Amino acid sequence: MKINMADLKKQHDGIREELDSVIKEVIDSSAFILGSKVTDFENSYSVFTGAKHTVGMASGTGALHAALVALDVGVGDEVITVPFTFAATVEMIYLSGAKPVFVDIEPDSFTMDVSKIEDAITDKTKVIMPVHLYGQMADMDRIMAIAEKHQLKVIEDAAQAQGAEFNGAHAGTIGDIGTFSFFPGKNLGAMGDAGACTTNRDTLAEKMRMILNHGQSIKYEHTIIGYNYRLDSIQAAVLDVKLKELTKWNAHRNKIASVYSENLKDTGLILPIINENRNHVWHQYVIRTGKREELKKALAELGIATALHYPIPLHLQPAFSYLNYSTGDFPVAELCSEEVLSLPMYPELPEETAVEISQEIVKICKELGI
């Protein structure tokens, strides 16, 4: 048995003819930076999400930074986020000049524990940045209510949540700005780095378009200090092709998640849940166990790949030691980092293979006493 975490080759093989065609169009046009292919994808993604504006970015990391800059986050400001996510979330807060302030996560959804937000708010707080981790949105109703009460902005880090919904609203359309990563392994992935910001505010969209292109809206007229966060045309063309498949791909991810949940329910594993009013898109299917290393090793011996998302919470990473957090400050994030294990999850994974994986896990759990 040889099962990888994902199979991008199989995904691309299924749409190869159309991918080849649009890439050839870009090559023939020689319009490699911005241009019509980028505009086409931005329009398509706005239709998909319901956002008024989509602004293509060179990466999800750049999207985060552009969002913070667009909201005038800078030195002396604080941004509330979670310590259980990929480092880019906090790196961009640092790069903006602001201070990251962490609140813990919920143990069952892995998203921001909303009950802890208000205790973290100070007179320096400017933004709340929830992370829609693994494909499930945070509790946006309560987050937006807190933001309104304290006159704060909200940036949704939706890097792993393309197509996720909260009360019928797509990820990235509820806060002031949503940020997306289209890293190849995401639910909607490019063939390289790519990202986007979504917003319903005209002024923010206009400002982000200047930020991504060296602060200019007219060539060689630099209105503000900007960056080079431009989405290239080939990636935009690829994303536009793949976007047509995303709803179908997400539906299959949901089937795989259901297979896992049904077959593993009688083990001692802690299984992921879907919170009320959410549409989970299962970027990752993440279980928890105190015997993670033993389970991971046993699965590897069978040829079944697993992954750790994420083994060290950000408040304990050396890069963020300047924040002076310590072990014990965010116990749920710390416990999850010791117990989480991601199982194979991708749209091309056959349901029968997910059943086989589940059966092997059940056997191992019995052997390990899980």
pLDDT tens figures, 47-56: 999 999 999 9
Residue 352's pLDDT is what? 98
DSSP string, 330-368: SHHHHHHHHHEEEEP--TTS-HHHHHHHHHHHHHHHHHH
Please state the rounded mean pLDDT for residues 177-185.
98
Share of the chain above pLDDT 70, in %: 100
Does position 1 have pLDDT exceeding 90, yes or no? no
Kindly list the domain boundaries of the chain, sorted by start residue.
8-240, 246-368
Tell me how far CA of residue 347 lies from CA of 8, 9, 140, 256, 289, in angstroms.
10, 12, 27, 8, 25
Does position 73 have pLDDT exceeding 90, yes or no? yes
Sign of CA dihedral 181, 182, 183, 189: positive
Share of the chain above pLDDT 90, in %: 98
**Mean pLDDT computed over every residue of the chain:** 97
Please state the rounded mean pLDDT for residues 160-172.
98
Please state the rounded mean pLDDT for residues 124-148.
98
Beta carbons of 240 and 43 less than 8 angstroms apart: no
First to last CA, the chain: 23
Q: What is the pTM of this model?
A: 0.97
Residue 206's pLDDT is what? 98
* 8-240: in CATH 3.40.640.10: yes
Please state the rounded mean pLDDT for residues 61-89.
98
Q: State the DSSP H helix or E strand holding residue 38, giving kind and residue range, or none if neither.
A: helix 36-49
Measure the CA–CA gap between 178 and 165, rounded to whole angstroms.
Answer: 13
Residue 327's pLDDT is what? 98
pLDDT tens, position by position, 268-300: 999 999 999 999 999 999 999 999 999 999 999
Please state the rounded mean pLDDT for residues 199-205.
98
Please state the rounded mean pLDDT for residues 21-36.
94
Number of H helices, E strands in the chain: 12, 14
pLDDT tens, position by position, 319-335: 999 999 999 999 999 99
Structure tokens at 361: 């896990």
Please state the rounded mean pLDDT for residues 347-370.
98
* 246-368: in CATH 3.40.50.150: no
pLDDT tens, position by position, 222-253: 999 999 999 999 999 999 999 999 999 999 99
Residue 216's pLDDT is what? 95
